[in-house]
Amino acid sequence: MREMRQDAPDGRHGAAAGALVQEYDGHGITLSDDEFVLFQKLLYDLSGISLAPAKKPLVSGRLEKRLKHHGLGSYRDYFRLVTGNDGKMELQIALDLLTTNETYFFREPKHFEFLRTRVLSAAKGGRPFRVWSAASSSGEEAYSIAMTLADVLQDRPWEVLGTDISSRVLEKARSGHYVMERAKHIPPGYLSRYCLKGVCSQEGTFLVDKKLRGRVQFMQMNLNAPLPRMAEFDVIFLRNVLIYFDVETKRRVVGRLLSLLKRGGYFMVGHSESLNGIADSLEPLMPAIYRKA
């Protein structure tokens, strides 16, 4: 791995965003059942994520620091703040705190092997080959895709789009700067070609190469809302997020994304997820891998 320049972005970034993580019991201000229902409905309306009652300690623990920051005495007061006319910025902070998803480089490696050997090997030249990481979190999936495309397609035109509902994790993704522990699943050849090793004040971190970062675009996007107009994609990754949606929300979200997948394109979900009964236009090829008819 080459060494990182000292003007690299500061900070050490780990995993984050897209769906809910482990429980955290907050201590101090009590979140009542009625107040929990308010945030439960708010999160569902904004993102389509369904919060089970067991997630009440998570909501309490994640938001308690914001109550203290604003000097508020109850979660109901905080709810009024984030839903008020002047609460747009605080609402985004709350949404960032309540949405997260564990991610790492080359997670579920069979998908990347399929992309390399079955999809890219048959890709035709001409127009850019486009891949969408639709729940990109802090960028590890999008950069894993980019490394694979750069290796196989090399100088042929290709593009990667990473989107997420959380502005906080998108900032981390754009920086391309991670703690070294995050590199353990990156193939050694990719690590040496596409990453820079931190030195001195950046020791213990690595930075995705600027040239590769320049071919990956990150954009804030709510998959539970109408999508912007975009060109069609050859492959869409929507992994490990559908498990947090109810059936109707799954159908709406998948339907929106499929409208932007070209005919014959590939759609990938997490290995713990299935699209049975969700999308009739998709043909199953392998576990968690589908093709648009």
**Cα→Cα distances 143→21, 185, 194, 204, 227, Å:** 22, 12, 10, 19, 22
Q: What 3-state DSSP class applies to 235?
A: strand
Copy the structure tokens of residue 272.
Answer: 């713990």
Q: Write down the catalytic residue from 164, 182, 234, 239.
A: 164
Copy the structure tokens of residue 202.
Answer: 């950046």
Distance CA 268, CA 16 (A): 20
Task: Check residue 5 and report its DSSP letter.
Answer: P
Q: How many residues belong to the chain?
A: 293
For 2-24, b/e burial (b = at least 16 CB within 10 A) is eebeeebeeeebebbbbbbbeee
Q: Write down the catalytic residue from 62, 130, 182, 213.
A: 62
Question: Does the active-site annotation cover 239?
Answer: no
Question: Does the active-site annotation cover 164?
Answer: yes
Q: Cβ of 41: how many Cβ atoms within 10 Å?
A: 11
Copy the structure tokens of residue 256.
Answer: 């929106």
Contact 18, 135 (CB under 8 A): yes
Distance CA 174, CA 188 (A): 23
Question: Which residue numbers are catalytic?
Answer: 62, 164
